Amino acid sequence: MMELNGERALLAELKYQLVSVVWEWKFRRLVRALKANFNPAQPRDERGWWTDGVGANDPRVMSDATPDGWIPGAQYAGNGHHFVPRGVFTNDKYDFSPETTRAFDSETTGHLKDPSSNQYDGVHRTYNKEVEEKLDQFLERNDVTSREMTPDHAKSFADEIKKSRDPRIRQLNQRIYMREIMRSLRLFRGRE
């Protein structure tokens, strides 16, 4: 009987992994299709998000001044959801090298068509807290300090977060993927 339960658990895990791979494949295919329609000349709003034509002359734009900490040439618009949130990897309690910080910063979903997918709400705050706890565990498990963490460690940790089955992490990632898929379907239907 215990062997049967073990096989059921293995089957459930394999089913979960297959579904995860299928959804990731669909999402990547969708991202490739969306990039095919990417237009870097498309106007942006005051937060740097791509818009449908509302630009700097819109009365809702308060200022064209650059915010504090803005780095010329850095790509702020279209970064998407960071699997390891900036609020975590820029936290003062860590001392990551600039290379490791860049590695964390590059681990994103890419540009999101639906910016409401990635708002800093209760689900996102829970996600940040859990990712920070998992990062502390990762450092301890790998017997490295934040200063010793390499870009390869950062990519490995981000992969753990992407694949995490922890509901506090998975909930936000799935919400983002599903909203992007639904938004793309609405945009696609609108073109027909």
pLDDT reported for residue 61: 41
Report the distance separating Cα 19 and Cα 25, nearest Å: 10
Q: Which residues contact 65 (CB under 8 A, 6 or more apart)?
A: none
What is the overall mean pLDDT for the chain?
A: 77
3-state secondary structure of 108: strand
CA distances in angstroms from 120 to 18, 22, 55, 131, listed in the order given: 30, 28, 24, 14
Q: Which residues contact 164 (CB under 8 A, 6 or more apart)?
A: 134, 170, 173
pLDDT reported for residue 23: 81
Tokens for 115, please give them. Answer: 């910016």
Q: Which amino acid is at 73?
A: G
Highest mean predicted confidence (pLDDT) among 47-61, 88-102, 110-124, 169-183: 88-102
Q: Identify the residue with better confidence: 56 or 17.
A: 17
pLDDT reported for residue 71: 42
| Per-residue model confidence as pLDDT tens digits over 19-28 | 777 788 877 7
> Quick check: 70 pLDDT over 60?
no
Quick check: pTM over 0.85? no
| Per-residue model confidence as pLDDT tens digits over 132-184 | 999 999 999 999 999 999 999 999 999 999 999 898 998 888 888 888 888 77
The residues that bridge with 50 in the sheet, in sequence order, are 44
Helix, strand, coil tally for the chain in percent (to 5): 55, 0, 40
Q: Which residues contact 192 (CB under 8 A, 6 or more apart)?
A: none
Strands (E), 14-146: none
| Per-residue model confidence as pLDDT tens digits over 118-130 | 777 888 889 999 9
What mean pLDDT comes out for the span 45-70?
49
